[in-house]
Chains A and B, each alone.
Chain A
Amino acid sequence: MNFSGVEILALVLLVGTAVMVVRLGNAVHAALALIANFLVVAGVYVALEARFVAMTQIIVYAGAIVVLCLFVIMLLSAAKANIGAEIMPALPWVGLVGAIGLAAVLIFAVTRFQPAGNVPALNGGLPQALGPLLYDPNRWLYALLVVGFLLLVATVAAVVLVEPERIIKATGHAAHPEGDGEPKPAKEKEVVKQ
């Protein structure tokens, strides 16, 4: 296994930005590092003959998903990452050991993979090559329709979750009939005494 300099550079960039995502103390900086990670991944996709997936990666992941996360971070003023008390002080070290173990197992698994001798050409992974697969009723067409319906349901669910008061007003159904979900331990103690 000998790797070119560009591949090593991409590996360092990908793992470095990934570590920044999980370690930076500012949530906005972590989200920006995630965008950098996704852009490098899109470059790797182009190198691996998956150009349509690379464009989708840039538009959907870097352009929509992370920007949505950034909106929520700034909306909630949740830029400070290390909030709350450290209730398990040893957790970072336990997590580090677990992550190293997981990485070792995964690398052991993927390096056992033997690539075939002569592989057919991928046509650059262009939409002309992917479209017939995606819209073939014997392959992926029904999965595509199900995913489209899933996206619709997810969008409706997001609206209902964020605006329950408007749903209550429109339908007359109380989304949370018992009021807020605060626990009431005093009442429970009385029941136990009786």
Chain B
Amino acid sequence: MIWLITSALMFAVGAYGALTRRTAILVFLSVELMLNASALALIAFSNLTGSLEPQVVVLFVIAIAAAEVAVGLGLIVAIFRRRETTSVDDLRQLRG
């Protein structure tokens, strides 16, 4: 049970970071933290229910996080080359 509470706290901390950080890379790290918290909750449920299926799901979460990092960091590098900044506040051309 303590691991479920831990994962809830980690998820909230990651959400706080994703809301308040102004650098794109650090928003990214906060999202990784939230993904990791959800994976921890899945493993805790796996242990509490005696099922191996959540562990398989966590493997998929890790693989998809790797794909997300590849595309996300590619986007950050491409934006930095064109705009010379990684601040998310400067990237608001799409805001109406």
The residues of B that contact A30 with a CB separation of less than 8 Å are 26, 29
Q: Are B23 and A78 in contact (CB under 8 A)?
A: yes
Q: Are A50 and B77 in contact (CB under 8 A)?
A: no
The residues of B that contact A129 with a CB separation of less than 8 Å are 52
Q: Residues 79-100 of chain A: 1 if any B CB is under 8 Å from the residue's CB, otherwise 0?
A: 0011111010001101110111
- Complex alpha-carbon distance, A162 and B21, angstroms: 24
Interface of B is mostly: helix
Q: Are B8 and A155 in contact (CB under 8 A)?
A: no
The residues of B that contact A103 with a CB separation of less than 8 Å are 8-9, 11-12
Number of residue pairs across A and B with beta carbons under 8 Å?
A: 257
With A57-B62, A151-B67 known to touch, is A83 a contact of B47 (CB < 8 Å)?
A: no
Interface size class of A (residues with CB under 8 A): 35 or more
Q: Are A107 and B5 in contact (CB under 8 A)?
A: yes
Q: Are A106 and B12 in contact (CB under 8 A)?
A: yes
- Complex alpha-carbon distance, A18 and B2, angstroms: 16
The residues of A that contact B71 with a CB separation of less than 8 Å are 154, 157-158, 161
The residues of B that contact A95 with a CB separation of less than 8 Å are 16, 19-20
- Complex alpha-carbon distance, A83 and B62, angstroms: 30
Minimum CB distance partner of A147 in chain B: B63
Quick one: which of A147-176 are within 8 Å of B by CB?
A: 147, 150-151, 153-155, 157-159, 161-162, 164
Other contacts beyond A78-B25, A157-B71: 19, CB < 8 A: A11-B9, A21-B14, A41-B39, A50-B43, A53-B43, A60-B63, A64-B66, A65-B66, A68-B70, A69-B32, A75-B77, A76-B25, A96-B16, A98-B16, A111-B1, A113-B45, A129-B52, A158-B74, A161-B71
- In the complex, 12 of the A-B residue pairs with CB atoms within 8 angstroms, ordered by the A residue number, are A41-B36, A44-B3, A48-B43, A68-B73, A78-B86, A84-B90, A87-B89, A99-B13, A111-B4, A129-B52, A157-B70, A162-B78
Give the A-binding residues of B (Cβ under 8 A): 1-17, 19-23, 25-26, 28-30, 32-33, 36, 39-41, 43-50, 52-53, 55-56, 58-60, 62-71, 73-78, 80, 82, 85-87, 89-90, 93
